[in-house]
């Protein structure tokens, strides 16, 4: 490899990487289905030092993201079902989709919760190829960290 290239945007989201460096993992435990660990995140990115929770209560906004993502997944699964299995008023195929889709949503919930946080943070923090030289993104100006950085 000649020099470091910019890691792919979508791939970084799907592998839950820090938005700023796209290298550091955003979650401590790799497996989202270990439910006690699902939302455990390091306070800062281990690679570039980017804080993940930008302000107190930052993650409340992820509710909307997870609704949107769940909706997209339902539409996709409906289209796939319609295409490969078909929908008819003569039988129960539609209800099978309804049931299986609901089951799928429950099963992917831990993964979806993580994905929502990642997508949400990507709205606020963008890729920075010079992350080793530049300052981390923050908008919590009252935090101790902010003043520490000014003093140093
Ligand atoms: Zn990072």
Q: Residue-wise pLDDT tens for the chain (152 aa)?
A: 445 678 999 999 999 999 999 999 999 999 999 999 999 999 999 999 999 999 889 999 999 999 999 999 999 999 999 999 999 989 999 999 999 999 999 999 999 999 999 999 999 999 999 999 999 988 755 555 555 555 55
C-alpha 147 – ligand 1 centre gap (Å): 21
3 state DSSP class of 141: coil
Ligand 1 midpoint to CA 50 (Å)? 5
Backbone angles phi, psi at 14, to 5 degrees: -70, -25
Give the per-residue pLDDT at 1: 44
The per-residue pLDDT for 144 is: 54
Identify the pLDDT of residue 75: 98
pTM score, two decimals?
Answer: 0.84
Strands of 6-69 (E only): list them: none
Residue 39 CA, ligand 1 centroid: distance in Å: 17
What pLDDT does 137 receive?
87
Contact (CB, 8 A) for 111 and 34:
no
Query: CA distances (Å), 106 to each of 37, 47, 62, 152, in order?
Result: 17, 32, 17, 47
Helix ranges (H only) for 9-130 are 9-14, 62-84, 93-124
Dist. CA 88 → ligand 1 center (Å):
49
Report the C-alpha gap between 118 and 105 in whole angstroms: 18
Cβ neighbour number for residue 50 with a 10 Å cutoff: 23
CA of 95 to the centre of ligand 1 (A): 44
Cα of 17 from ligand 1 centre, angstroms: 7
Q: Measuring CA to CA, which residue among 88, 104, 134, 107 is closest to residue 35?
A: 107
Ligand 1 centroid from CA 40, angstroms: 16
- Residue that is written with structure tokens 């799907």 in the block: 14
Ligand 1 mean position, distance from CA 22 (Å): 6
pLDDT at position 19: 97
Between helices 62-84 and 93-124, what is the axis angle to 10°? 140
How far out from the chain centre does Cα 72 lie? 15
Q: For residue 108, what are its two tokens?
A: 């992917």
Structural domain spans, the chain: 9-143
């Amino acid at each position: 490899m000649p020099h470091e290239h910019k890691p792919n945007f979508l791939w970084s989201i799907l592998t839950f990487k820090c938005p700023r460096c796209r290298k550091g993992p955003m979650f401590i435990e790799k497996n989202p289905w270990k439910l006690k660990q699902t939302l455990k995140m390091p306070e800062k990115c281990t690679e570039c030092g980017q804080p993940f929770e930008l302000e107190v209560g930052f993650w409340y906004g992820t509710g909307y993201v997870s609704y949107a993502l769940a909706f997209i997944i339902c539409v996709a699964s409906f289209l796939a079902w319609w295409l490969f299995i078909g929908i008819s008023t003569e039988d129960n195929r539609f209800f099978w989709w309804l049931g299986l889709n609901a089951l799928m949503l429950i099963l992917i919930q831990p993964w979806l919760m993580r994905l929502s946080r990642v997508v949400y943070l990507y709205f606020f923090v963008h890729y920075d190829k010079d992350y080793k030289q530049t300052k981390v993104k923050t908008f919590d100006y009252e935090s101790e960290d902010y003043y520490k950085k000014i003093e140093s």
